[in-house]
Amino acid sequence: MFTKLKSLLYNNEVRAIVFQALAVVVIAYFAYQAFDNMMLNIEQRGIRSGFGFLNDEAGFAVNDNFFLEYSPASTNLQAFYVGIVNTLIVAITGIFFASVIGLIVGIARLSSNYLVRKMATVYIEIFRNIPILLQILFWYSIALKVLPSARNSMSFMDSVFLNSRGLYLPKPIMGTDFYFVLASLVIGIVAYVFIRKRSNKKHDETGINTNTIPHFLGLVLLLPIVVYFSFGAQLEYPALKGFNFRGGIDLSIEFFALAFSLSIYTATYIAEAIRSGVESVDVGQKEAAAALGLKNSRAMRLVILPQALRVAIPPIINQYLNLTKNSSLAAAVGYTELVTIFSGTVLNVVGQAIEIIMLTMLVYLTISLVISLILNIFNKKMQIKGG
Amino acid sequence: MNQLLKLSAASILAISAYGVQASVFHSNTLEDVQSKGSLTCGVSTGTPGFSSPDSSGHWSGVDVDVCRAVAAATLGDSNKVKFVPLTAKERFVALSSGEIDMLSRNTTWTHTRDTSLGLTFAGVNYYDGQGFMVKKSLGVNDVSELDGASFCIQAGTTTELNLADYFRSNKMSFKAVTYDTSAQTKAGFEAGRCDALTSDVSQLAGLRSTLKDPSSAVVLGNVISKEPLGPVVRKDDNKWLNIVRWSLNAMIEAEELGITSATIDDASTSPGVQRLQGKSGKLNESLGLSKDWSRNIIAQVGNYGESFERNIGMSTPIQLPRGVNQLWIKGGILYAPAFR
């Protein structure tokens, strides 16, 4: 009996399982103790706990609010939603422009033109090596200094205004006709997808290429606009009343400073990812494309980039996640995103640090996981199939 | 075998030790402070006149003086204070987690803070209110003319709520740009990002004096809120609450009795003065302090008026008038409960 037990003890597999189980128990116990201790302290000190505060009146104003209903009479929960939407908007804007700039600069870095190549290198080396917080503060103070005051705004056709407080655009007034516009947009997209599929099929069968860009412009852009104006469209124009512009769409200068800094900072990393991707493609591919008579730009678009992206996507995913997390530096310039609104103002008013910080972390975790999920799916699609 | 045994024994020991340790709960701050030999006091990261360090790291200000008074009462030495600079967001967590023994950081006494954070306000050392600074070029003389204006605010203050309340109740619209620090708030105002800067009146004068061109801005006469600022302690320690509360009261009482740091040790026949000097009465016993606790406060820190004039009075760059922070017998609302 004893020898049997002993042999079990000296069995590597059994040992491994025992140690791992022990480790799990210890970690779980520590976590439980920490949580229990926290709850005990909260109770003994009479600190309010739980999520009841979410239904309390927020009582403060939010500067940037794109489409949600919000006023100081709204609840903390609504303020939380405004924060999430603002974080998403600045992250999506940043990701879009960072990708575009990154792609262009990454390719420019490999250009055969000396000036273009060097300029791309200088751009990358400068902006990649300065901390993002400093860049945000720098561009913000530049914007404040360079742009005119509200009363001396730059204006374009008396409907778009730019000053040191933000950009003011005319806003379409959403009536019932808005649904017709939406419907026409959907119809346009469906029709375009159909046309595109047919032209692809034609290309596969006959090798004749059809340019579908005019179709795209006509169906997806022009059609909704035509429908919109044929229903007697009305625009709400921003106008200077008193101290500020009122009406229209108002994009704050803080939003621009943050989105701009995040874009040009993250673009440097994306450019490097693109470059390493392009360099990983065998030279023979480029030569073969040239031998087939493809122009440089077409060779890049049809042969090199699809292969380069396979290598470039994983590091680019990381950069998208970094950009999203870096958007929390907005507190420095006063763009009202999640951290500023919720972990800042609401936390100060309510004082329940544990709940509020936990909710904030949960949001960032969710956003990050969703971004990486989407891009992982995209990554799988880009990989060589059956390989 | 041996190793496994040792490891499990060690982990069980560690867990049980951790479990016991974790539930120990501090509720005797006085004992802690006296055994440490110093008071850990949470202050601001730098508010001139209230709590700010000089170039050699020496802290001064009316909030700092409250910390020093408590140190003088409990340790007999007003210099035995460890100052912990805290931002507005950090302050309450630092106090409730026990990182600091008390908080004296221009903190507004509000209902929510007093009742739901596990904290208690020990008194008021400065009665403040929220005011406005505007660009002179706007030609504005009153807040009611600021309908639709943009305001620069510092985050983590009651200012954001007061502003929203005021404009809602007067049915006016406004835009608020909220910055993280007071330096950024000032920079935003100077650069014209907003029409007005709003903050506690006590800070506006100081901020205005640091503008590149102070004459380009004016502080409006309006005060839209009550901001009683005072020291805060944890709710679970009544004895400590009493010590902080009565240390502050001793400073106010001393001014009312006309005794200063220079005259505290002068012989007096007044029973009130004698009680403050620790020569009669037993005011120290229920606080658990030595007989000379209040004498030490006045001798080392001074009375309330001395502290006020030294830090924020008309002879300092801050130049705040006493206003409501005058003694009740001189037309203000400063009033210490009876010392007996």
From chain B, the residues in CB contact with A45 under 8 A are 96, 118, 234-236
A–B: how many Cβ contacts below 8 A?
143
Residue with tokens 């030569």: A287
Taking CA–CA distances from B161, the nearest residue in chain A reads A60
Cβ–Cβ gap B175/A242 under 8 Å: no
Report yes or no: B108 and B158 within 8 Å, Cβ to Cβ: yes
* Environment class of B218 (CB within 10 Å of its CB; exposed 0-12, middle 13-18, buried 19+): middle
CA nearest B93 in A: which residue?
A: A353
Q: A350 and A266, same structural domain?
A: yes
Residue-wise pLDDT tens digits, B192-209: 899 999 998 888 887 888
A7 inside domain? yes
Nearest CA in chain B to A18: B4
Closest residue of A to B189, CA-based?
A144
* CB B181 within 8 Å of CB A77: no
Say which amino acid occupies B236. D
| Chain A residue closest in CA terms to B94 | A353
Q: Is residue A127 part of a domain?
A: yes
CATH of the domain at A329: 1.10.3720.10
Angle (deg, nearest 10), helices B293-300 and B62-75: 140
pLDDT digits (tens, 9 = 90+) for B224-280: 999 999 999 998 899 999 999 999 999 999 999 999 999 999 988 899 999 999 988
Pick the residue from chain B with its C-alpha nearest to A72: B164
Q: Are residues A37 and A83 in the same domain?
A: no
Q: Which of B13, B177, B182, B185 to mutate to test the interface with A (most CBs of A within 10 A)?
A: B177
Residues from chain A contacting residue B147 (CB–CB below 8 Å)? 242
A164 lies in some domain: no
Examine the pLDDT at A1 and tell me if it is beyond 80.
no
HSE toward the beta carbon, residue B180, CA cutoff 13 A: 16
On whether the CB atoms of residues B99 and B268 are closer than 8 A, the answer is no
A387 within some domain: no
What six digits make up the tokens of A192? 């375009």
Query: Does the beta-carbon distance from A33 to B184 stay under 8 Å?
Result: no
Nearest beta carbon to residue B156 from set A40, A48, A348:
A348
| Closest B-chain CA to A242 | B148
Q: How far apart are CA A22 and CA B176, in angstroms?
A: 54
Q: What is the structure's pLDDT at B84?
A: 96
Residue B15: pLDDT band by 50, 70, 90 thresholds?
Answer: low
Question: Rounded to 5 degrees, what are φ and ψ at B293?
Answer: -55, -50
CB of A273 closer than 8 Å to CB of A306: no
- Considering the domain architecture, whether residues A37 and A136 belong to the same structural domain is answered as no
Residue B175 to residue A61, Cβ atoms within 8 A: yes
> How many domains is chain A built from?
2
| Residue A26 and residue A102 in one domain | no
Residue A271 and residue A142 share a domain: yes
**Region A247-254 average pLDDT:** 86
pLDDT at A4: 74
Nearby residues of B177 by Cβ (< 8 Å), 6 or more positions away: A63, A252, A254, A334, B150, B151, B152, B153, B188, B193, B194
Alpha-carbon gap, residue A65 to A84, rounded angstroms: 11
| Pairwise CB contact (< 8 Å): B175 & A351 | no
Instruction: Give SS3 for A357.
Output: helix
Contact check, Cβ <8 Å, A345/B155: yes
Q: What is the largest CA-CA distance in chain B?
A: 86
Q: Is residue A229 part of a domain?
A: no
Tens of pLDDT along A367-376? 999 988 988 8
Cβ of B15 and A29 within 8 Å? yes
Inter-chain residue contact B117 with A48, CB threshold 8 Å: yes
Amino acid identity of A142? I
Of A115-129, B11-25, B166-180, B255-269, which range is least confident? B11-25
pLDDT score, position A33:
92
How far A306 CA sits from the closest chain B CA (Å)? Answer: 44
Contact criterion met (CB < 8 Å) for B22 and A34:
yes
- The CA-based angle B307-B313-B317, given to 5 degrees, is 120
3-state helix, strand, coil in chain B (%, to 5): 45, 15, 40
Q: Are residues A266 and A362 in the same domain?
A: yes
- Is A348–B149 a contact, with Cβ atoms under 8 angstroms apart? no
Residues of A in contact with B195 (CB under 8 A): 243-244
Are A63 and B178 a contacting pair at CB < 8 A? yes
Residue A165 forms part of a structural domain: no
Partner-chain residue, chosen from B88, B161, B235, that has the shortest CB–CB distance to A45: B235
Distances (CA, A) of A262 to A123, A269, A330, B239: 14, 11, 10, 52
Note whether A242 contacts B22, CB cutoff 8 Å. Answer: no
Give per-residue burial for A191-209: e unless 16+ CB within 10 Å, then b: ebeeeeeebeeeeeeeeee
DSSP A57: B
Cβ-defined contact of B188 to A144 (cutoff 8 Å) = yes
A339 and A274 part of one domain? yes
Copy the structure tokens of residue B132. 């406005």
pLDDT band per the 50, 70, 90 thresholds, residue B1: very low
Question: What are A126's two structure tokens?
Answer: 């400068």
pLDDT digits (tens, 9 = 90+) for A4-57: 777 777 888 888 898 899 999 999 999 999 988 888 877 777 777 888 899 999
Please tell me the number of Cα atoms within 13 Å of B87 on its side-chain side.
14
Tokens 């903190």: give the residue.
Answer: B107
Question: Is A68 domain-assigned?
Answer: no
Q: Which two tokens stand for residue A148?
A: 């005119």
Q: What is the mean pLDDT of residues A284-292?
A: 91
pLDDT at B340 over 60: yes
pLDDT of residue A288: 93
Same domain, yes or no, for A86 and A33?
A: no
A334·B88 Cβ contact <8 A: no
Query: Which of A34, A47, A246 lies closest to B148 in CB terms?
Result: A246
Give how far B27 is from chain A: nearest CA, Å. Answer: 10
Domain that holds residue A117: 76-150+253-382
CB contact under 8 A, A60 and B164: yes
User: Has residue A248 been placed in a domain?
Assistant: no
Point out the residue among A37, A145, A244 whose CB comes nearest to the CB of B22: A37
β-strand partners of A161: A155, A168
In this structure, the answer to whether residues A13 and A119 fall within a common structural domain is: no
Residues whose CB falls within 8 Å of the CB of residue B83, separated by 6 or more in sequence, listed in order = B41, B43, B51, B53, B59, B64, B67
Between residues B105 and B48, which one has the greater pLDDT? B105
Does A274 score more than 90 pLDDT? yes
Per-residue b or e along A249-261, where b marks 16 or more CB atoms closer than 10 Å to that residue's CB: bbbbbbbbbbbbb
From chain A, the residues in CB contact with B11 under 8 A are 22, 26
Query: What is the rounded distance in angstroms from the CA atom of residue A258 to the CA atom of residue A94?
Result: 8
Distance from the A89 Cα atom to the nearest Cα atom in chain B, whole angstroms: 18
A272 and A359 in a common domain: yes
Q: What angle do CA A220, A225, A230 make, to 5 degrees?
A: 135
Q: What pLDDT, on the 0 to 100 scale, is given for residue A176?
A: 66
| Judgement on whether residues A9 and A146 belong to the same structural domain of the protein | no
B177 to A63: CB separation less than 8 angstroms, yes or no: yes
Query: Under an 8 A CB cutoff, do B15 and A40 touch?
Result: no
- Domains along the sequence of chain B with CATH: 29-127+229-330 (3.40.190.10), 130-225 (3.40.190.10)
Lowest mean pLDDT among A195-199, A289-293, A348-352: A348-352
CA B323 to chain A, closest CA, distance in angstroms equals 28
Distance CA B26, CA B100 (A): 12
Contact indicator for A273, A316 with CB cutoff of 8 Å: yes
User: ipTM surpassing 0.85, yes or no?
Assistant: no
**Least CB–CB distance from B93: residue in A6, A144, A353:** A353
B18: which chain A residues are within 8 Å (Cβ-Cβ)? 30, 33
Half-sphere exposure for B30 (CA within 13 Å, toward CB): 18
